[in-house]
Every structure is written in structure tokens, then in C-alpha cells.
Amino acid sequence: MSSIEKIVEQALQDGYLTPAMEAEVGRICDTASELSIEEYMALDRLMGSLLTGEVVAVPRKQFINVMEELVLTEAISQVAAVEANSDQTLDLGDVAAYALNRLPPLYATTEEGASYQRDKARTDLTDLIRQQVSESVGRSLHQPEFFPERKEIQRQQESGLLSQVNKLLKDYAHDFEQQPAA
């Protein structure tokens, strides 16, 4: 039994499809050169169960890391200053990621929580943020380009499981029809 079939069985047993299960089905479908008939049938069962409400897709919790916006703001400022005063170009994403890896996350799930985290960071962490971004800029300035062929992370279009499964079925199973059991 394939992973897709196991995931669908688990979703049918539990009555819900978690974001992790959804992501794993998407990953399998994206990386597989071809899905088996059993996998298509499992996806079809899942789609039907989602449509009838037998299985409920658990929504992803919406949250943000306020530290990301604070670091990005500081990184933009420092990178712009360096680039204005020299002939060097820095990768803003590299600078921000390096600094973020050395700073505490500040997650929030509501606007009020995000506002609280911003205020807390401005009061308690401004100097640390500035220092970490500055260190990251300095590191970027003196680091050789080891892997010029590296690929940036591409964000996939956000779409729900139903549209992903629907697209997969349209793309790969347009001629497939389940034969009735004899």
C-alpha cells in the first residue's frame, strides 16, 4: 500500500485531514513520475470524502513571526547604506536569514498579539536586532560566492487540498474511470 493510500485510510479513519497529511500527499504527487491506479482511486475517495464532509480538512493556523518583519526592515536599511557607499551588492534574503537564525522568534496569531510582539521587540530587542543584522552584513561582504548555481526557494501558490487533488486528477487521470466491481 502506497503512502497516499495510507494517508487516505488514516484520514477516513480519523475523519480529518491534517495540514501535514495534505502536504505529504502534495509532495508525493509532485515528485512521482506516475501514480498508480490505486493511488488515483485513493485520491478520488479522499476527494469524495472531503466533498461530503465525511473527512474535514483541518485549516492551517495563520500566524506570523514578527521578528521577520523587524529584521527585514533593519536589513533593508543596512544593505541600502552599504550598497549606496560601495560597488558591492548584497543578497537581502541571505542577510535577513543569517540574522533571523540568531534571534528569538516572536510569533503571533492575532493583530493584537503581533502589536504586542512588535512593541516588546522595540523595547527589549532593538539593539540586538541591529547588532545581528550588522554582523550578517559584515559576513556577507567578506564571504566568497561558493555556490553561484544555487537555487532560491520558490514559494508555491497557496491552494487548498481540493484544488490540488482536482488539478492532479485533471492532469493525470483525465482518461481514468473506475470500473464497477463485479
Count of other CB atoms within 10 angstroms of residue 148: 5
Residue given cell 495510507 in the structure block: 6
pLDDT digits (tens, 9 = 90+) for 110-164: 889 999 999 999 999 999 999 999 999 999 888 766 566 666 665 555 455 566 5
pLDDT at 74 over 70: yes
Q: Where are the domains of the chain?
A: 3-60, 64-141
Beta strand segments in the chain, E: 16-17, 56-57, 64-65, 107-108
SS3 state of residue 16: strand
Say if residues 34 and 82 touch (Cβ distance below 8 Å): no
- How far apart (Å, rounded) are the C-alpha atoms in residues 15 and 49? 9
